[in-house]
Structure 1
Amino acid sequence: MRASFLGCPVDLLTMAETVDLACGAMRSRRRVQHVALNVAKLVNMRSDPVLAADVANSDVVGIDGMGILWGARALGLPAASRVAGVDLLAELLAACAQEGFKPYFLGATPAVLHQALQVACKRHPSLAFAGWHDGYFKREEENDVVRDIQTSGADCLFIGMPTPRKERFLAAHRDDLGVPFIMGVGGAFDVLAGTVRRAPVQLQKLGLEWLYRVYQEPGRMWWRYAKTNTVFAGVLAQAVIRHLIQHALDAPGAVPPGPSRIGG
C-alpha cells in the first residue's frame, strides 16, 4: 500500500512483503528500485532535488527509521513496522542463497567490501556473487563499472555509496544496468563487515539507533543528526497539528470556522 507522508511517497510493507516483492522482481527480471527512507533522507530531500527525484521515481519506498514509523502513525497511516535497510539486506542475501540469485555489491572501501563479501559467503555457503566493486572509483572509471554490472548477470544490485553520489549514479545509469532489483544500502556493508556495530536491540526499539551512531562516530555524526532531527521534529509537529485540526473539523457535529461577531 502506497501512501504519502509529509509530501513523500511511502510503501506500507512488512519485511516479508518487501522480500517477496524483491524476489518476484528477480524471477521476472522486471526492474524494481527500492529506497530505504529515514529521517535524514527525508529532511535532505527538501533541499536536494536529485535526491527527491530519486525517491519519487523509486518503485518501493520502505520505512527504514523509527522516526518515520512513529511519524506516519501519528498522522494516521496504518504503518505496521519498519523495514530497516541493513535487515532487508540480510534477508535478501539469505533469499539469494536459497533461490540461486546472484547479487552484486557496489560501494565501501576495498577493505570493507572484501570483508563484507567474506562474511556473507561464510553465513551462506551456497551464495554466489555476480560481482563487486568498491565505491571509490574515479569519474572516468564509471563507465567501466557500469559495463561490469551489465555483463555480470546480476539479479540484484546493492549500492553502498553516500548520498548524493548514489542518486547521481542511478539517475545516469539506472535504465541501462539490466539488474532487476536495485537497492541503496547506506552503511550496511560496514555493518555486515563488522567495522560498524549496530545499536543494541532495545535502543533500536526506542528509536535511538541514531544516538548510538553518534556515540561511535561523534565527529562525523553529531551535527548531521542534530540538524536533521530538529528539522524533522518541527515539520512533523506542524503536520500533526494540521491533522488534529482537520480530524476535529471532520468529526460529526463539528462547526466549521466562519465569520465571528463581537458583541450582540
Structure 2
Amino acid sequence: MKNIVVSGYYGQLNTGDEAILRVLIDRLREYERQENEDLNIVVLSSRPHLTSKIYNVESINRKKIWKVIKAIKRCDIFISGGGSLFQNETSNRSLYYYLFQIFVAKLFGKKVFIFSQGIGPIKKWYNVLIFKHIIKLADYITVRDYDSFDLLHRLKLKNKIDLSADPAFLLNPCCEKKVEKLLQIYDIDYRKKTIGIVVRKWKKEKNMTDKIAQIADILIENEGYNVVFIPFQGKWDIIKINEIVSKMNNKPYVLSENFQPHELLGIFSYFDLILGMRLHSLIFAAKMNKKFVGISYDPKIDSFLKIYGLKPVGYVDSFDINNVLLNIQYMLNETKIQKKIEQITLNMIQKAEKSFEILKGALASIKKKKSINVLGVRIDCINFDKAKKKCIDFLSTSSPKAVFTPNVEMIMLSQKDEKFRKILNSGDLNVPDGIGVVWASKYFGEKLYERVTGFDLMMSLMPELEEKKTKVFLLGAKPGVAEKAKENLLKQFKNLKICGVHHGYFSEEENDTVVEIINSSKADVLFVAMGMKKQEEWIYKNKKKLKCKLIMGVGGSFDVLSGEVKRAPVAFQKLGLEWFYRLITQPWRFKRMLALPKFVFIVLKTRIFGGR
C-alpha cells in the first residue's frame, strides 16, 4: 500500500481549494482502480473531521505540527497540492509553514510533488532565498500559469518544471436535474440575461463595497438583468455580500454558501457572464464556456486573464464603475469571444491532465509490497481503513472469503506447526493483529504503521452491516455467551440482522449439523470466536461447505461483547500494551506471554544472521 499526504489550504470551505482537492482525490481513486493498487490518502486540513467525511479519506489537523510530521514520516509521496501556497502576500507565516512541510518530507527521504501551484508573489530577498533553497529539493514541480513558470526559471532552478493548468479545469459539474432542483427555491427568470458576481473581502479595498453595489443596481435597474451573488468561501463571502446588498436599492439574488464545488460548477451553466474577484470563479466560468470579466486583488488573477488574452477590468483598490459596465456589455455582445474561450479552455484541460500523468509516473516509481512474510506467515500490508473496505468488498464476491488476524502468539505457534502455518497463509486477508507484528514488519521488507485487531475490525463493520441489512451469524465461545453478545450488539445496533448464534463447544460429529444451521440461516457474514488456532482450523476445514461471503476469526471477541471479559482500557490499546494489561489482570497467562520475548529474539536473529 502506498501512503500519500496531500497538503493545501483545505478545510477552510474555499470552493476553489476544495475543487482542487475533489479532483485530486477522484484521480487518485481512479488510479487505484486502474492499477489495482491500494492508496492510503491523508489530507492535512483545518477541519479534519469535515474533510474526512466529505472525501472519505484520513485527515489530520494541519495546525497540530507533531501529527503533521508523523504523517509525513509515514508517507511515500508528499503532494503540495493546488492553490497559491508559496506566497507571502497574506503573511510570511503561511509561506514558511508550507516550505517547512517540504523540508520535513525531504528530511525523511520522501518524494515531493509541487502540484499545479501558482507561485508568488514572494516579497523580500531573504524570503526568495529561503524559497529557492527549499523548493529545489522537490522531485516534481508543475505550475499552473506562465508567470509562475517564469518566476521559477528566473531563480535558475535545475529542477524540471512543467507548465500545467489548475486541476479545477478537470472538475465535472453535477447533473442538470440536480442543478435545476438546487435553483428551484430562488425562482430566477432565466429569460433575462443573468450576471453572476463573486466578491471577497480584501484588506486593500477602497470603496469597493459601494462600487459593486452601484454596478449591481445599474445592471438590474437600467439593463433589466438578473444579478446573482455567489459565495465562494462560506460565511466570509456572505458577510461581504450582505454588506453590498445593504447598500443597494434593488434586490439581487444571493445563493447559499453550502453548495459543493461540483454543484456550483453546474450552476454556472445558467449564467451569461461572471464578474469575479476570486480566481476559481473565473476558472469555473471558463470551464463551463461562459464569458467572464475579472477584478484583480492578486497577480494570479492577472496571470489567468492573460491566458485568455484579457486584462482585469479594474483592481480592488481602484476601479471605475463605467469601465466595468462597458466591459460587461462588450463581453455580452461580442460573439467571437465565446469561441476563443472554448478553444483556450480545451487547451487548459489538456494541460491540467499533464500534472496527473506525471503523478501517475511518480506513483508507479514507488515500489511497495502488497504483503510481507513474517517468520513464514503472510501479513498483508494494509491499514485499518483499507482492511475494513476490503471486508465490505468481500460481501460482493460469489465465494466465501476468510479473514485471519495473525498475532505474535499465532506466528510463534506456526513455527512448530507447519499445518497451522499453511492454514494462516490460506487467508484471503491477513491483518496485523498486535503491536509485535507491526514492530517486526520493518525487518521484513515493508514497515507497517498500525495494527488491525480482530475485535476493532469486527466492530467497525457493524454500522455498514446494519445499513446494508446484511445477515450476521455468531459462532463460538461457551454456551450462552454468543446469545449475550447478540443481545448487547442489538442494543448498540438496533437494526443489525443477527440471523443466528451457536456456541463453539460442539463435537466433530455435530460439525455438519452446525454448518447446515449456518447455511440455513442464509448468513452473509460469519464471525467465528473459538480462540486461536481452533477457529482458523475450523474455518479452513469448512470454508468450501459454507455459503457465507465473509468469514472472520475473532478470538475472544464474544467474551468481551457479552461482558464476560473486560477489554483493556483505551490508554493501553493506544500504546499497544493490551498484552501487558492481560498479564496484570490474568497472571495465569504468563506462559503464553513468553511468546513475545521469544518472537523478538527470533526476529532479530533472523535480521542479523538471515534464515528462519
Establish whether TM, by shorter chain, passes 0.5.
yes
Change (3 A) 1:201 1:34: same
Match of 1:146 in 2: 515
* Distance change >3 Å, CA 165–CA 7, structure 1 → 2: closer
Question: In structure 2, what is the equivalent of residue 83 of structure 1?
Answer: 452
Between 1 and 2, higher relative CO (CA 8 Å, sep ≥ 6) is seen in 1
In structure 2, the residue matched to 1:166 is: 535
Q: 2:392 aligns with which of 10, 19, 23?
A: 23
**Secondary structure at 1:235 match in 2:** helix
Distance in structure 1 (CA, Å) of the matches to 2:524 and 2:468: 11
AA aligned to 1:147 is E
CA RMSD between the two structures? 1.6
Alignment pair present for 1:190 and 2:565: no
Displacement after TM superposition at 1:208 (Å): 1.8
Aligned letter for 2:596? N
The range that moved more, 201-210 or 84-93, is 201-210
Find the residue that maps to 1:162 and give its secondary structure. Answer: coil
Query: Using the alignment, how far apart are the partners of 1:87 and 1:29 within structure 2?
Result: 26
Secondary structure (helix, strand or coil) at the match of 2:405 reads strand
Choose 152-161 or 199-208, whichever is displaced more.
Answer: 199-208
User: Could you tell me which of 208, 212, 235 is aligned with 2:602?
Assistant: 235
Distance 2:501 2:414 in 1: 29
The match for 2:590 is 222
* Distance of 1:155 and 1:29 partners within structure 2: 11
Which residue does the alignment assign to 2:376? 7
* Structure 2: runs of 5+ lacking an equivalent: 1-369
Distance apart, 1:139 and its partner CA: 2.1
Contact 1:50 1:164 in 2 (8 A): no
Separation in 1, partners of 2:394, 2:537: 23
Q: Select the residue among 491, 500, 507 that pairs with 1:131.
A: 500
- 1:29–1:179 contact (8 Å) kept in structure 2: no
Aligned mate of 1:58, from 427, 441, 446: 427
Partner of residue 249, structure 1: none
TM-score normalised over the length of structure 2: 0.38
Change (3 A) 1:202 1:239: farther
Alpha-carbon distance change, 206 to 239 in structure 1, aligned in 2, over 3 angstroms: farther
The Cα shift of 1:124 comes to 0.4
Deviation at 1:239, TM superposition (A): 2.7
Q: TM-score, normalised to structure 1's length?
A: 0.86
> SS of 1:43's equivalent?
helix
CA contact (8 A) 1:102 1:128 kept: yes
- For the 8 Å contact 1:75–1:239, the answer to whether it is kept is no
**Does structure 2 conserve the Cα–Cα contact (< 8 Å) formed by 1:11 and 1:62?**
yes
Runs of 4+ aligned structure 1 residues displaced above 4 Å come to none
Matched letter for residue 233 of structure 1:
V
Query: 2: distance between equivalents of 1:46 and 1:28?
Result: 32
**Match for 1:145: what amino acid?**
V
Structure 2 match to 1:258: none
Q: 1:166 to 1:64 in 2, by over 3 A?
A: same
CA displacement at 1:74 relative to structure 2: 4.4
- Number of residue pairs the alignment of both structures matches: 241
Counterpart position of 2:437: 68
Q: How far did 1:6 drift?
A: 2.5
Q: Using the aligned pairs only, state the percent identity.
A: 31
Q: Is the 8 A contact 1:71 1:236 kept in 2?
A: yes
Bigger fraction of residues in helix: 1
**Any conservation in 2 of the 1:35–1:61 contact (CA below 8 Å)?**
yes
Residue 127 of structure 1 deviates from its aligned partner by 0.3
What corresponds to 1:262 in structure 2?
none
**Matching residue of 1:35:** 404
- Stretch of structure 1 that moved more, 76-85 or 63-72: 76-85
